[in-house]
A = this chain, B = another copy of it.
Amino acid sequence: MKTLAALVFPGFQTLDYFGPMEMLGDLGEELRIITVAETLDPVPSVHGQRILPDKAIADGSDYDLLLIPGGESAHEAAKSSDLAAWIVETANRAERVMTVCTGSILLATTGMLDGRKATTNKLDFTRTVPLAPNVEWVRQARWVEDGKFFTSSGVSAGMDMTLAAIADLFGVETAREIAEGTEYEWHDDATWDPFAKRAGLV
């Protein structure tokens, strides 16, 4: 059984986190999901639902997988040096690291994506990518895979990226079964990204 640290911080974007949770949670016995936050206090999503963390960052950084959601408040979260240190330590140890939306920026500002290809939210792209200038930002992509890093475009794209990461780790048939079981039309082509054009990026 693998373990996943699923990070939350105040104001995280609801679907950035819970879309991947649905897909990863459907792995059942294959994966133990642990919700991690800076402290054990309830963490509100941007839409106000309060989540109880299972572990605090002080409890350790030894997880097989790491998920980082985004949200407008990811920029605030990026200011915590304790959180940045935990992200670096956890990402260094993990075999796969997944980020959704501006969660990519939160990871990138630690330097972990320097020299790598990555993507993030398209509507905020021009405003956010200068915060991590040493990343090779991809303007049009539903998600980008570079080594152990899977970074996705905005909000809903997290589900497509997560299914790709599941396919990579557990086989494409497992990913397809989860998509089917959730009646989800998986965009399984990483280059599918109509939002880049609509945001004027290409």
Interface residues of A (CB under 8 A from B): 13-15, 17-19, 21-22, 24-26, 33, 35, 42, 45-52, 54, 121-123, 153-157, 180-185, 187, 194-195, 198
Residue of B nearest to A53 (CB): B50
Measured between alpha carbons, how far is A49 from B33 in the docked complex, in Å? 9
Given contacts A157-B183, A182-B156, A183-B153, contact A18 B14 (CB under 8 A): yes
Known contacts A156-B184, A180-B195; 17 further A-B pairs (Cβ under 8 A): A13-B22, A15-B18, A18-B18, A18-B49, A21-B47, A33-B48, A33-B49, A35-B48, A42-B52, A51-B52, A52-B52, A153-B183, A154-B182, A155-B181, A156-B185, A157-B183, A183-B195
- 18 pairs, CB–CB < 8 Å, chain A vs chain B: A14-B22, A15-B182, A18-B49, A21-B49, A22-B47, A25-B45, A33-B49, A42-B52, A49-B51, A50-B52, A51-B51, A154-B182, A154-B183, A156-B182, A180-B198, A183-B195, A185-B187, A185-B194
Measured between alpha carbons, how far is A187 from B176 in the docked complex, in Å? 19
Closest CB of chain B to A34's CB: distance in Å?
A: 9
- CB pair A19 B21 closer than 8 Å: no
Measured between alpha carbons, how far is A17 from B47 in the docked complex, in Å? 12
Q: Which residues of B contact A157 (CB under 8 A)?
A: 183
Closest CB of chain B to A55's CB: distance in Å?
A: 12
